Structure 1
Amino acid sequence: MFRSNLVRQAMRAARVQPPRAAPTAIRPAARPAAASIRPFSSAPCRRDDSNRDDVDAATTSGEPGESGDHEGQYARTQDNIRVEYPEEDDLPRSQPVQGRGGVHSKRTLASFSLEDRVAVVTGGARGLGLVMAQALVTSGADVAIVDMNRDEGQRSAQGLIDTFKAENPGSTVPKVTAHFCDVSSPTSVNQSLSEILKEHGKVDHLVTSAGFTENYDAISYPHDRMQKLWGVNVDGTYLYAVAVAKHLMERQAHGSMVMIGSMSGAIVNVPQPQAPYNAAKAAVRHLASSLAVEWAHAGIRVNCISPGYMLTALTKKILEDNPELQKQWTSLIPAGKMGRPEDLMGAVTFLISDASHYVTGADLRVDGAYTCT
């Protein structure tokens, strides 16, 4: 069959093709007679309201507000909500989670273990950073806490050691250290990493949790504060990731990083206005994907965790000052509840450890399905 097809194709190719007709000149089209020109006309559309009901009023056929004052009220930002990030001395302290890291006899995958690994956690003195640092310590890693507040970092590091000892009597205690760093400064980043390498000898993993949010309407947002927000959330994430990647490449060692984004990088929060923060977290999310591709050849995995509303000590203070926010937030969460910082412990351990060996460039949402709606 194959041979006969070739023969037929050869015979068709050998046939003489008739000459093509010469192209004809294109003549300008004659102007249509005036009688053939039809002027455009329109008549107003009359809507038949005889069968309209309350449901019709809730569609685009209804007048604004016709179906009630509730129209769109849950999907708008409110300019009167303004939350400025506190000064360092005014930030509430965070405590290690109790009862999550003791010796247990339940079997689990060995690939979740972080024994003989060293991890850096930026913003690790408080909030989500502290809880994730504790998750890594509990899983066997030595941890370097990096924070703007050196004293608070040292208190938190000692708190992690004391909690580990109390929950794991007789076990070898991981090494936990604290280091000052302004992550928005390349010089400060390099100095802190150099100090960490002197203390720990190497770095295998990085969690970039340094960041903060503020609530200003976009028109009123002070430019210097917006620059500071981007400097910590975006520049700080990038600078520390690059510094650790250089170290890993120089060692020709594999490693993993987890960048802490936010559901705000994929949705727009309401009712509080926070456009620069949302854009910054969107940048973090895409930065993780981009670096995952760029560094895959070196065996460096980069992933992102996007938390939803988490009840940190600072969030609790904000809600106490703005009690209506709690009801509005939880009404928009399909799970109906805010998360707690410890809900991130398993997520960060999975993405940092070898249990996620083939996972890179991913965004793990921990938000009660908020971004699914």
Structure 2
Amino acid sequence: MYLEKLRLDGRVAVVTGGGQGIGAACARALGEAGATVMVAELLPERIEASVDSLRRLQIDAHGITLDVTKSKDVDRVADEIVGRHGRVDILVNNAGVAISDVRAEDTSDEHWRLHMDVNIDGLFWCCRAFGRKMLARGGGSIVNIGSMSGLIVNKPQPQSFYNASKAAVHQLTRSLAAEWGQRGVRVNAVAPTYIETPLTSFGIKENPDMYKVWLEMTPMGRVGQPEEVASVVHFLASDAASLMTGAIVSVDGGYTCW
């Protein structure tokens, strides 16, 4: 009974930014559970690499080019996927950007706008476009990738623009959950700690003093791996989390305990 709730056979899952890091891990987790996976990604070479990797695991995977910052492109992709597969059951909003270690007083309009365009505007365009499809069918699950940075202020690197964008993701998650709860669409978010991906290489690989602080601030004393986030995303997307909506699930090695 309980293991069956984690199965996703017959479902269609869309993962934005599914070409690397957490997104690629989420695509694999959902695919291993039986879902047909759509890797929605900006860069064609990442799409090809991710889809090839998934297919080698016998996962039914497909790729589609998507720029989440363009609402009409998001609408087009949603229409195309439903036209091709007949449905969308799961959306993982993973596409994001983090160019940190910039002080607030030095943050340019362009730097601020980039983070808002991708991390919150683009995420909303995807929730809106795919949410419409789910609402029309009477069901679906959306999992947004937020961040512990939406709950606390990171140190030592300044990144007010990123923190603000992820806090907005969390509040949007709750708002959509409240609006759509009685219409069959669940909306949850995960709030990861530092995960070993290209986005965090500036601290893990390039700044040992910063990395030391990160580890000291984390009770578990380590950064996370993409699959550790993907496992939680899989759970939230599945029927095993059928009573959960509007939740912000911390996957942070205890970071927000202190």
Range of TM-score over shorter length = over 0.9
- Match for residue 242 of structure 1 among 128, 150, 175: 128
Compute the displacement of 1:192 (Å). Answer: 1.4
Q: Distance in 2 between matches of 1:177 and 1:129?
A: 14
Question: Which moved further from structure 2: 185-194 or 280-289?
Answer: 185-194
**Equivalent of 1:308, from 167, 171, 193?**
193
User: Are 2:113 and 1:219 equivalent residues in the alignment?
Assistant: no
The residue number in structure 2 matching 1:125 is 19
* Alpha-carbon contact 1:154-1:177 (below 8 Å) kept: no
What TM-score does the superposition give when structure 2 sets the normalisation length? 0.96
Distance in 2 (alpha carbons) for counterparts of 1:196 and 1:114:
18
1:7-34 deviations in whole A, cap 9, x for unaligned? xxxxxxxxxxxxxxxxxxxxxxxxxxxx
Name the residue aligned to 1:155: 49
CA contact (8 A) 1:121 1:206 kept: yes
Mapped to 2, the partners of 1:367 and 1:249 lie a distance apart of 32
Higher helix share: 2
1:194 equivalent among 79, 92, 103: 79
Q: 2:151 aligns with which of 266, 275, 280?
A: 266
> Which residue is equivalent to 1:113?
7
When residues 318 and 331 of structure 1 are mapped into structure 2, their CA distance, relative to the original with a 3 A threshold, is closer
* 2:238 pairs with 1:344: no
Higher RCO (C-alpha 8 Å, min separation 6): 2
Amino acid at match of 2:124: Y
Structure 1 segment 56-205 matched on structure 2, within 5 A? 109-162=3-56, 164-165=57-58, 174-205=59-90
Residue 335 of structure 1 deviates from its aligned partner by 1.2
SS at match of 1:295: helix
- Equivalence for 1:371: 256
User: TM-score, structure 1 length as denominator?
Assistant: 0.67
**8 Å contact 2:195–2:225 — kept in the other structure?**
yes
Q: Secondary structure at the match of 2:68?
A: coil
Q: 1:177: how far off? A: 0.9
2:189 corresponds to which letter in structure 1? C
Match of 1:231, SS? Answer: helix
Contact 2:22–2:230, Cα closer than 8 Å, also in 1: no
Does structure 1 retain, via aligned residues, the 8 Å contact 2:139–2:185?
yes
Greater strand proportion: 2
TM-fit CA distance, 1:318? 4.2
CA RMSD of aligned residues (A): 1.4
* Separation (CA, whole Å) in 2 of partners of 1:287 and 1:277: 15
